[in-house]
Amino acid sequence: MTETEIKSMIDKDLYESILNAFTWEKVREQTNYYYTDKAGILREKRIMVRIRVVGEVAKIQVKLHKNENSPLQICEENEFETEEVPDIINAELAKEITGEDVGELYKMGCAVTIRNSLVHNGSELCLDKTTYFDKTDYEVEVEYEEKISADLLMKLTSLGVRFNEKCVGKFSRFLAEYENQE
């Protein structure tokens, strides 16, 4: 599945403004456990592997990022069923899910996100508060398939959201903080 979205990092005040400006359809907590190979091959190839847990459901998700340096993010995303969150994903399964022969994948840690979401004119608005290590950040994203909702974009712009800069994804932000921990 190809996922198209625009994202913007926001501060806590803008997060609160957006939170109060909309009637949210869903609020959920999700925990993303991130994995890497020892040689860093997946990172070089812009492939991200995580296990996302929402409630009692866990899924392995693999994303291949197709563009960079833009608020628009286009990713090829695949999901696989799993019943556990292991410390190590064995080499055989790693190759099956990524298509790359990288050996075992090792759990680096996790990020916990509180996500508020709603669907408007075919676009999904997501407002995220994410905590990893000792850091909390805030992000707004609009996911869409064919055409983005213009009135949703105008409302976000009127609140102060700017989608004109590259937005570093959750995994990249997590990774930067992970490297600071070492």
- pLDDT value at 41 more than 90: yes
Q: Are 51 and 31 in contact (CB under 8 A)?
A: no
Q: Round the CA-based radius of gyration of the chain to a whole number and report it.
A: 17
Residue 103: exposure state from Cβ atoms within 10 A (0-12, 13-18, ≥19): middle
Give strand pairing partners of 7. Answer: 141
Q: Reduce the DSSP state of residue 170 to 3 states and report it.
A: helix
User: What confidence category does residue 3 fall into, taking pLDDT thresholds of 50, 70 and 90?
Assistant: low
Q: Reduce the DSSP state of residue 162 to 3 states and report it.
A: coil
Report the domain count for the chain.
Answer: 1
Give the tens place of pLDDT for each residue, 42-78.
Answer: 999 989 999 999 999 999 999 987 766 666 666 788 9
Compute the distance between CA of residue 60 and CA of residue 101 in angstroms, rounded to an integer.
Answer: 17
**Whole domain around residue 120: which residue ranges?**
2-181
Q: Are 4 and 145 in contact (CB under 8 A)?
A: yes
Phi, psi of 172 (to 5 degrees): -65, -40
Task: Look at residue 159 in the predicted model and tell me its pLDDT.
Answer: 98
CATH number at residue 151: 2.40.320.10
